[in-house]
Amino acid sequence: MLKNKMQKDFINLKFFCIFFYFLLIIKMVNVMKKDTRNTTSFVIFSIIILFLIAMILYTIFSNKIDIYSNIEDNYTKSTPTPPSTSNKKEENKLDKNEEENKNPPEHKEKQIVEEDITSYTTEILDRKGTRIHNIKLAVEKLTDASVAPGETFSFNSRVGKMGKEQGYEKAESFKTDGTKFLEYGGGICQVSSTLYNTVLDSGLEVVERHPHSRRVYYVPKNRDATIYYGHKDFKFKNTLENTIKIYAEASDTNLTIRLVKLVEK
């Protein structure tokens, strides 16, 4: 901008000088026509005037050049050079990398959640202390059992033997002919029967199940499952694609078994 302005000023000065010389020539011609005696004096006087005017204009123009030069230098010094786009991109990349190093992205681990399949509750009708004790002991051994996809669950394998050595007490049980008698672990069949009904409601595959030798009333007819370690067992297969967990709890009046599946989320 400053150079352009200087060029314009110089051109204007040229035109001014040419115009002024033109006027002087016209004046000199007129003077010569009127009075030739004064021509020489007028020419000398005109040259002196022109010289003075040229000196004045030269001085003004030189000062302008200095002023413009100073302004341009100051402007150049004070105006910061804008960073190139490529530099900005590189700086942004470096800043982003530094930020990622300081705060690495969190890798969220998949969580395992439990989803209910079904549950079943039976009422403890015979509430003798020994029978309730046996039921609660079997429930403690059954609960938290896991069954993987395709795996077959065995009640006897999970709960184990039902003798005096395992902490069971004598309670009413049935012989094969339906006769009642007292036996260590009596009452545990209510736990296996409750689990059987839970499995039926869930739609899982029943692999092994045996009925009692006589009717029991804590489950509907033909929906009982007796067990006897080493002889009769209750088994079912996990036909789902998820692992199953068994939760069991018992009070003095009720027994509840719940099935859940483990799901990744």
With cut-offs at 50, 70 and 90, classify the pLDDT of residue 134.
very high
Q: Is the pLDDT of residue 132 over 80?
A: yes
Q: Is the pLDDT of residue 62 over 70?
A: no
With cut-offs at 50, 70 and 90, classify the pLDDT of residue 56.
low
Residue 99: what pLDDT? 65
pTM of the full predicted structure? 0.61
SS in 3 state form for the chain? CHHHHHHHHHHHHHHHHHHHHHHHHHHHHHHHHHCHHHHHHHHHHHHHHHHHHHHHHHHHHHHHHHHHHHHHHHHHHHCCCCCCHHHHHHHHHHHHHHHHHHCCCCCCCCCEEEEEEEEEEEECCCCCHHHHHHHHHHHHHHCCEEECCCCEEEHHHHHCCCCHHHCCCEEEEECCCCCEEEEECCCHHHHHHHHHHHHHHHCCEEEECCCCCCCCCCCCCCCCCCCECCCECCEEECCCCCCEEEEEEECCCEEEEEEEEEEEC
**Over residues 87-113, mean pLDDT:** 68
